[in-house]
Amino acid sequence: NAGVTQTPKFQVLKTGQSMTLQCAQDMNHNSMYWYRQDPGMGLRLIYYSASEGTTDKGEVPNGYNVSRLNKREFSLRLESAAPSQTSVYFCASRDYSYEQYFGPGTRLTVT
C-alpha cells in the first residue's frame, strides 16, 4: 500500500518548456487535489477533482491544466513554464472522513 505517489521528485525546466507532474493513489479515494507550497504562502489549491472525469479550479489555476482519466491518477500539466511556477507541488487524496493524504511532493525549479 503505497498511499499517494508523485513523479518526478525534482525537476528543472527552462522558461517556456512544458511538463506533466504525475500523481497516483491506491486507496480508492474519489477526491484528489493539487496544491503548491511556497515560503510564507502556505498551501494554495490549484485544482481538485471530486471524482473520475470531473475537475474544478482552486485558488491559483492560471498556467496549469489537470487531467483525471481514472480514479487512481490525477496529473498536473504546465504548458509553458514560468519562473513564478517555481514551487513545491503536492498531490493529495481524500477519504470518506475528509482526511487528506499527501504525496511526498515535487520540487520544481523554472529558470
Residue among 7, 20, 59, 111 that touches other proteins (CB under 8 A): 59
Q: Which of 31, 79, 77 is nearest to 54 (CA)?
A: 31
Q: Which of 96, 105, 40, 99 is nearest to 76 (CA)?
A: 105
**Among the candidate windows 13-21, 64-72, 73-81, 102-110, which touches other proteins by CB under 8 A?**
102-110
Shortest Cβ distance from residue 97 to other proteins (Å)? 8
Nine-digit cell string for 104: 511526498
Q: Is 56 in the site for other proteins (CB under 8 A)?
A: yes
Task: Categorise residue 26: left if φ over 0, alpha if ψ from -120 to 50, beta otherwise.
Answer: alpha
**Among the candidate windows 20-28, 33-41, 65-73, 76-84, which touches other proteins by CB under 8 A?**
33-41
Q: Which of 31, 49, 44, 22 is nearest to 103 (CA)?
A: 22
Write out the residues near other proteins by the rule CB under 8 A: 31, 33, 35, 40-45, 48, 50, 56, 58-59, 90, 92, 94, 97-100, 102-105
